[in-house]
Each structure stands twice: as C-alpha cells, then as structure tokens.
C-alpha cells in the first residue's frame, strides 16, 4: 500500500474536524448575535433604572446642536457603558473586525448606533487608515454626525491615546469633546483595559469637557501635536473628576500611575474640568 493511501483516512478526519469546527463556530456566532445584545440591554436597563445618574457638560445632543458635528474621545475601559448610555443620541462609532467585533457591532446597532467596522487587526494598519478616511468623508458629507472613539482601543496600551480621534477631527473640521464615565459600584474585568462592569443600585457619572479646537495661532505642522496634547490632558482631567464624583478623594495612586506622567499630579487633585472652553470656541463651532 502506498504512503498516499495510508495517509488518506487521516487527512479525511482532519478535513471533517475542520468543517465541524467551522460549523460550530458559525452556530455559536449566530446564537451570540441574537442573544448577547438583548441580554446586555436588559442588564443595563436594570443598572440605570436603579441608579443615580449624573451627566455634566456638553453631551452629544448639545454638541450636535451647537457645532453640527463632533468627535467624542473616551477610554476603552468604559465600553460596557457606551452602547446603552449614549445610544439615545444616535452617534457613530468604530467596531473591530472579527467575531467579537461582530457581536459588539450588533450590540451597538441594537442601541441605535451607526457602526463603522475597523480598529486594530493583526498588524494591518492600512485597514485603519482606510476607515479613518471613510469616517472623515462620511462626516463631511452627512449633517449632524457625532463619533465616539475609544482613544486607547482596541488593544491598548491602556490610557495611552492613539492618533485616530484627533486626526478625524482635524481632517473633518469637527471639535473634540472628551468624555469619561465612572461609577461607585463595579467589577473590573481581567482584560488589558480593566473594563468596568457596573452593578445595580449605583452612582454613575458621565463627565464631558469641550469643545477642543486646533489652535489657529500655530503653524499647520504643529496643530496636530498641540491638539493631541490638549485632548489627552482634558480627557485625563475628566477621568479623574468622574471618579472623584462617584468614589470621593483621594484617588488611588496606583491607578493614577497608569496614566501619562505629565498629567498625574493634575489628576491627583481631581479638579473640575473645563466643560466649555470659551465664547470664541463656541462661535467657531456654530
């Protein structure tokens, strides 16, 4: 008997196993798409209807009314809140490719988000660049577009901003508004970003700060870095203030040390962030 004939049964078994795994994966994916989003909405309904909810600063409805469009910058650790708490504003956002991304995208759609697919994916940066281009084009062509961008997503490192939110704002002419959600009672998942899982009977704070515009007094080549630095600073300030509102002072030092060194001392004071910058900024966005 030839070697080819001897190996044929083993190859058929491997082929069958591959097909079985694919079929199981598709079945689990279908179950996930039609159960997880609705379980999520039911749980978050319970959380929000048993909790004290505080919202401070220019939310997406205000931003859409005052500026026509806006880019909201936030951290990835609050992704569990975002779909439910901001779906009422019908914002636009990114969801990663892959099975998990498909479930998240479905969850966002159930909560009335307009979802663009993109995010980090096996080192292929060209895909992310293409998504940014599409988002800028969409914002320029459609009225009232509001994006929510997790600035350290979708794989981290935690509390380290990537370029996307600021780049979209600069290229589209939209202002940046930073946002941070925190709560008093939560679990933190064992993920790279320590995602917050809120519990019922809670105190939840949504803190917004902005608008942030590129500085017209700077040369064009310097505007990105200046806006990036200010967005990072204001997002860190809003983060500290949201935690102060719900948990009080002092803030945990080991938590503050996870943020960029330049903002740590300011975060430790947890002062109220700037909710609107200036009349001039408001006029620019009108």
Structure tokens at 78: 């609050």
Q: Is residue 144 part of a domain?
A: yes
The better pLDDT of the pair 29, 61 is held by 61
| Model pTM score | 0.82
Instruction: Return the pLDDT at 8.
Output: 65
Q: Average of pLDDT values for 235-249?
A: 96
Rounded CA-CA distance 137/116 in Å is 12
Instruction: Return the pLDDT at 25.
Output: 64
205 forms beta bridges with 54, 182
Q: Is residue 147 part of a domain?
A: yes
- pLDDT tens figures, 61-95: 999 999 999 999 999 999 899 989 999 999 987 66
Q: Is residue 1 part of a domain?
A: no
Q: Is residue 275 part of a domain?
A: yes
Structure tokens at 239: 């983060």
pLDDT of 190 above 90: yes
Instruction: Return the pLDDT at 283.
Output: 37
CATH number where 234 lies: 3.40.1130
Q: Average of pLDDT values for 172-199?
A: 96
Rounded CA-CA distance 44/155 in Å is 24
Q: Average of pLDDT values for 255-264?
A: 96
The better pLDDT of the pair 129, 262 is held by 262
Structurally, the chain folds into a number of domains equal to 1
Q: Is residue 250 part of a domain?
A: yes
Q: Is residue 76 part of a domain?
A: yes
Assign 48 a pLDDT band (cuts: 50, 70, 90).
very high
Q: Is residue 130 part of a domain?
A: yes
Lowest mean pLDDT among 69-78, 198-207, 238-247, 275-284: 275-284
Q: Which of 192, 200, 171 is nearest to 42 (CA)?
A: 200
What residue numbers bound the domain in which 159 lies? 6-285
- pLDDT tens figures, 127-171: 667 788 888 988 988 889 999 999 997 788 999 999 999 999 999
Q: Which of 65, 63, 284, 31 is nearest to 73 (CA)?
A: 63
Given a contact cutoff of 8 angstroms between Cβ atoms, the answer to whether 237 and 210 are in contact is no
Residues 6+ positions from 18 with CB-CB distance below 8 Å: none
Q: Average of pLDDT values for 208-231?
A: 93
Instruction: Return the pLDDT at 177.
Output: 97
Residues listed for the chain: 286
């Amino acid at each position: 008997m030839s070697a080819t004939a001897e190996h044929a049964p083993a190859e058929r078994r491997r082929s069958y196993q591959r097909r079985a795994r694919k079929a199981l994966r598709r079945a689990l994916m279908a179950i996930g798409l039609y159960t997880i989003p609705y379980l999520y909405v039911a749980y978050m309904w319970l959380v929000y209807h048993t909790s004290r909810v505080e919202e401070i600063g220019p939310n997406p409805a205000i931003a859409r009314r005052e500026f026509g469009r806006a880019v909201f910058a936030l951290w990835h650790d609050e992704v569990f809140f975002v779909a439910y708490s901001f779906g009422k504003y019908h914002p636009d956002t990114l969801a990663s490719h892959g099975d998990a991304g498909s479930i998240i995208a479905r969850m966002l759609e159930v909560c009335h988000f307009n979802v663009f697919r993109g995010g980090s994916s096996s080192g292929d940066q060209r895909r992310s660049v293409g998504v940014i281009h599409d988002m800028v084009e969409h914002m320029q062509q459609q009225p009232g577009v509001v994006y929510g961008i997790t600035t350290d997503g979708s794989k981290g490192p935690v509390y380290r901003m990537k370029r996307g939110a600021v780049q979209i704002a600069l290229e589209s002419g939209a202002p940046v508004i930073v946002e941070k959600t925190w709560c008093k009672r939560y679990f933190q998942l064992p993920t790279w970003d320590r995602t917050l899982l809120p519990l019922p009977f809670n105190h939840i704070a949504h803190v917004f700060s902005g608008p942030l515009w590129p500085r017209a007094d700077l040369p064009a080549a310097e505007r990105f870095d200046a806006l990036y630095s200010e967005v990072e600073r204001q997002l860190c300030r809003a983060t500290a203030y949201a935690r102060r509102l719900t948990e009080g002072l002092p803030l945990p030092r080991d938590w503050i040390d996870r943020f960029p060194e330049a903002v740590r001392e300011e975060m430790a004071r947890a002062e109220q962030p700037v909710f609107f910058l200036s009349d001039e900024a408001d006029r620019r966005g009108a």
